[in-house]
Structure 1
Amino acid sequence: MTKIIHPKRARPHRGARKPPWLSITVRRTPRCPKESLVSNLPATEPAVTSAEQLVAIALSLAARRRLRLTHTLFARVAALGRPAGPLPHYLEALQLLPPHCSYSAAQWRSLLEQAARIAEQLAALDVALVTLFCPDYPPLLAEIIDPPPLLYVRGARAQLAAPQLAVVGSRNSAQPALQLTQQWCQAMALAGVTITSGLAFGIDGAAHRGAVAAGRPTVAVMATGIDRLYPARHQRLAGQILEGGGALITEYPPGEAPLPANFPRRNRIISGLSLAVWVVEAAIKSGTLITARAALEQNRELLVLPGSVNNPLSRGCHLLLREGATLVESAAEIVAQLGANFLLQPSQPATAPRASASSPLLAALGYDPATTDEIAARLGWGSADTARQLAELELAGAVVRHCGAWLRV
């Protein structure tokens, strides 16, 4: 893996040969300060990549340094078209130089130097760039207030324009929630919905696995560089996503580590790509609620699954429902919210035998977690007999054990 070098550390030593597009001698005089600042940028297109890719990478790097880029930049790009002629003039026309922007020409030069190094890496990584200059840039994502100037893509870039449903939830969900998420996402993927999530543990992984099980593409939005998979234990899942015609995407350059600040920014892309966002489980203080807030700001439909009042991972869901989110209780209801272009196929019968819903043990368990001793006390049974019958129900797929408690599936 090639290490990304900070521009300040990348200055060539005296006598080193520079690329021709950076070898520009600038005479600065006090008579024309603005012209000298603009001329300090590379004036020719580099051989390593196209000018538009360089500009998009530089804009993405600037956005990471708190330069606020908004959808108005996309409007200016649409009006100007692709870069033609000297890059300094193009940046000036985009109002990205003083006095319109706080970034100086020298800062843009450093960013363009770093962009050239990143572009060299992409060829070795077999990574595509979808930039704001590309006609296949996701149209829904372009509408949000701060769209990313580019996306690094591995896999099928065409999936970025497909109708998508964002699926988000807790990394610590219990097996029943994970099983439900995978089953519903499998059914919705078969109906033609592209499932989009963040490749994290918990609900994200279950959502991707549902689409993979259906043999349909899914989109994973990463909070790291395209060459640094996180979490590492999802290496196999990432491979299955690519083999199934899906895509791994990120706005972060190669080599980017999983920094905490990257995840909230990543979430705006998950919701921005999608027609709607389905919240499965969420604590009050969680990244899932950040995604939900982003969805509301982006005018996306917010669909929420209710849960037990005793489950702390349901409290965020109930908060969203009180604030006006749409309650959903089935995959069919979610598909109906997305429009009439999707047809949900009839669900297949379960292959494993299921315990009777009238089982006294299931009735005593209810739908909230309970320990073996608590269930035995409710029934007046012995603990050993209760544990034996719970094991039988577990083998039948009717209950699961999570953190020392039993849960009904």
Structure 2
Amino acid sequence: MDLTFDLVVVGAGVVGAACAYHATRSGLSVCVVDRASLAAGTTGAGEGNVLVSDKEPGPELGLALLSNALWRSMAAVPVCGTTFGARAELDPKGGLVVAASAASLSDLADLAQRQRAAGVEAEPVAADALRQHEPNLAADLAGGYRYPQDMQVQPMLATALLLRLARDAGAVLLLGEAVTGFTRHRGRVTGVRTPRRELAAGAVVNCAGTWAGEVAALAGVHVPVAPRRGFVLVTEALPRVVRHKVYLADYVTGVASDSAALQASPVVEGTPSGTVLIGATRERVGFDRTWSPDAVRKLAAGAVRLFPFLADVIALRGYRGFRPYCPDHLPIIGPDPRAPGLWHACGHEGAGIGLSAATGRLITQSLRAEATDLPLDPFRPERFDEVAA
């Protein structure tokens, strides 16, 4: 059976769900199609970061600030007999970025000053005051900054709820159907093909995460999205012993690194269920899912460096996933002039959960030919062709 929509969203992760949510709210008819289940890729392997603290001033920080405001506005939306915020475990707990040395603290202070000029709330915390915010922190840290805007959300719950709200507004969800090609008319993308049907649409948005390059190639265009593997450890349930998202300042450097080699910097946070999540590693090894004892050892050692009590805590499990990495560390958002009718919303690397709310809003505004809240030029899909030329 063939179906017709205003928009087909390829990918049922959090970015695709946010696009579907915003598009249906604007009155567009939407179909979400995914070869697997919802949140089966990068989203399901994420920690749920909704951060402004880890971004340098520029287009991505602007996107993060917009998204932060949108997530906060979502908190009160009624869903499933309660609110989105309660059901999705949206926790406005704030972030605490700490420095291990005076030099690192100086660099962090410079970053915080520039972030504040861009609209970020960043509060200096002296070394002797750190444990007022996190009583179990190591005692030998040089100081840090508290970021009240940082939040956490449970990514699979958030995705499911966004799709629930989209379906309540009329969206159709087709899971277990891989997109195998695009339909065209006079050079314009007019829909997608799956093994079961054709889905006709006024527009298609590629939200395929780490596999967005493969989807783009079906339309004859190139977007350089590549996998960047990461591991996370999960501890046994504890009392709320970590109050913020806490990480060492060099985490920002690791995020911005272009190295394919293993990058590890401790990121530690508690969850409403009581478990503690421990990240973060990054490495470019293709889609190799091999378990890495070296990466996991570095995660554990880094976490104990920040919170010594974790040395006696049991790690129940670990998981891994692939972040959709772009060479310039900016996502790809907007229409593709090389394939009219095709939009992209991909390449967010490890920030896709946090940035999804703004991405969905910007895509919808662009589809409706409305003024966008932020300029899309820094995120345009064809920018990589311009660099190659």
TM-score scaled by length of structure 1: 0.21
> Going by fraction, where is strand more abundant, 1 or 2?
2
> Going by fraction, where is helix more abundant, 1 or 2?
1
**Bigger Rg over Cα:** 1
Q: Which has the higher contact order (CA 8 A, sep 6+)?
A: 2
